[in-house]
Amino acid sequence: MSDRPWFNFLPVAGTALTVGLVLGRNVGSRALEPAPPSIPDALTGESQFASQVTIDSGLVKRTFKPDRLYLPTYIEKIGDRYFIVDCYNNRVLYSSYLSAPLHDWQIPDDSLSRPHSIASDGRYFVVDNTDAHEIKVYQRHRGGFLLTQTVRNIGARPHRVRYDPYTSAFYIRASESQAITKLVAEDNGLVEKHTKKLPFLGQSYTRSFGIVDDKMIFVSGPRMLTVADYVDSSYEVLYSLHVPAPYQSMNDILRVGGAYYITVTNNIIIRCDSLLDLPEDKCQSVYDQMSFRGNPYYFSRFDGHVFVSELTGRDDILMFDVNDTRLVFKRTLFTDR
């Protein structure tokens, strides 16, 4: 088989897994099974960025902006590489240099359907392929990445994936079905240990969760912020806190020192000295002082800084210095250079 510049997906037995081979980098995609429309091959690649592309499959019409970020939801550093989940461009980008201009970032896969996050244990790179209701699993291969698994039947719209070193497991939240999935690495890949419905989430749309002091914190969709045990896989509720109306559509949570930062849809970010301040509406709005122009979304922390993705507004990633329990704006990654 020659190194042809596209992905080849090879189906195997079973309904929950697909195994594939990736050859080359900065490439388009080909699939043997139906997939959401992707940017044509001629418009992908590090030297072939276009300003705007509209794909009309007859079923869905989407506009892409491949020369820029388009609702970036998450940034992470894994090993010696940086990854950006570029949600509305249906792709993940990576680079060895955070300071690299966007057109120099590599594209391991542009056939995704509105992904939101990525996590890794150093061997497996797990991406939630949100609108396809599945998880994509990659491994490093020949300087690029190999698609090794597609995990399905884990709930509707997986929206956040995290790797937890304490339990050596990946956890995935399905936003529309209130389910959580646990995947662990075994000899032949990732294995699903369970997918469980979380009754305390009711029927609410819940985007994310955090892991703090070996406890899971589920952000509000159901008008409650809930802290639960997860190490024993029970997801037993330890306590829940009422969330005031302006903050009920939460995006993400991060602890900085002893304080908590929480992002909320509709251009809100708050800082709480304690989670117990939340039901009393004693948390501080810090949106303006943190220099946001759009909707703050997911947090990440690496290289001594905190990063927050910003949807709409600049469609960028904001970098912050950490000063004790406070985040101090430093710069954006792309728009304000």
- Comparing 14-28, 34-48, 270-284, 314-328, the range with the smallest average pLDDT is 34-48
Binning pLDDT at 50, 70 and 90, where does residue 26 land?
very low
DSSP assignment of 138-182 equals EEEETTEEEEEEEE--S-SSEEEEEEETTTTEEEEEETTTTEEEE
- pLDDT of residue 43 exceeding 90: no
Average pLDDT in the chain: 84
Round to whole Å and give the CA distance between 25 and 45.
Answer: 8
Task: Choose the most confident range, by mean pLDDT, from 6-15, 72-81, 103-112.
Answer: 72-81
Task: Say what the pLDDT of residue 155 is.
Answer: 94
- pLDDT of residue 214 exceeding 60: yes
Task: Say what the pLDDT of residue 337 is.
Answer: 58
Compare 36 and 289 and report the one with higher pLDDT. 289
Interval 46-70 mean pLDDT: 53
- Comparing 65-69, 145-149, 318-322, the range with the smallest average pLDDT is 65-69
Task: Say what the pLDDT of residue 65 is.
Answer: 83
Instruction: Provide the token pair at 138.
Output: 């990659």
Task: Say what the pLDDT of residue 269 is.
Answer: 98
Binning pLDDT at 50, 70 and 90, where does residue 13 land?
very low
Angle at 277 between CA 219 and CA 269, to 5 degrees: 55
Round to whole Å and give the CA distance between 82 and 61.
Answer: 30
Contact 193, 233 (CB under 8 A): yes
Task: Say what the pLDDT of residue 64 is.
Answer: 74
- pLDDT of residue 268 exceeding 50: yes
Binning pLDDT at 50, 70 and 90, where does residue 63 land?
low
Interval 176-190 mean pLDDT: 95
Binning pLDDT at 50, 70 and 90, where does residue 108 land?
confident
Contact 133, 5 (CB under 8 A): no
Element (H, E) at 332: strand 326-332
Compare 62 and 232 and report the one with higher pLDDT. 232
What are the domain boundaries of the chain? Answer: 1-152
- pLDDT of residue 88 exceeding 80: yes
Structure pTM? 0.83
**DSSP secondary structure letter of residue 136:** E
The model's pLDDT over 298-332, given as tens digits with 9 standing for 90+, comes to 999 999 999 999 999 899 999 999 999 999 999 99
Binning pLDDT at 50, 70 and 90, where does residue 104 land?
very high
Chosen CATH of 1-152 out of 3.40.50.620, 2.40.10.500, 3.20.20.10, 3.40.50.300: 2.40.10.500
Interval 252-272 mean pLDDT: 97
Task: Say what the pLDDT of residue 24 is.
Answer: 30
Task: Say what the pLDDT of residue 9 is.
Answer: 27
- Residue 146 CA from chain centroid, whole number: 19
Interval 88-98 mean pLDDT: 96
Interval 287-300 mean pLDDT: 97
Interval 54-82 mean pLDDT: 76
In our burial notation (b when 16+ CB lie closer than 10 A, e otherwise), range 217-249 reads: bbbbbbebbbbbebeeeebeeeebbebeeebbb
Angle at 168 between CA 129 and CA 250, to 5 degrees: 50
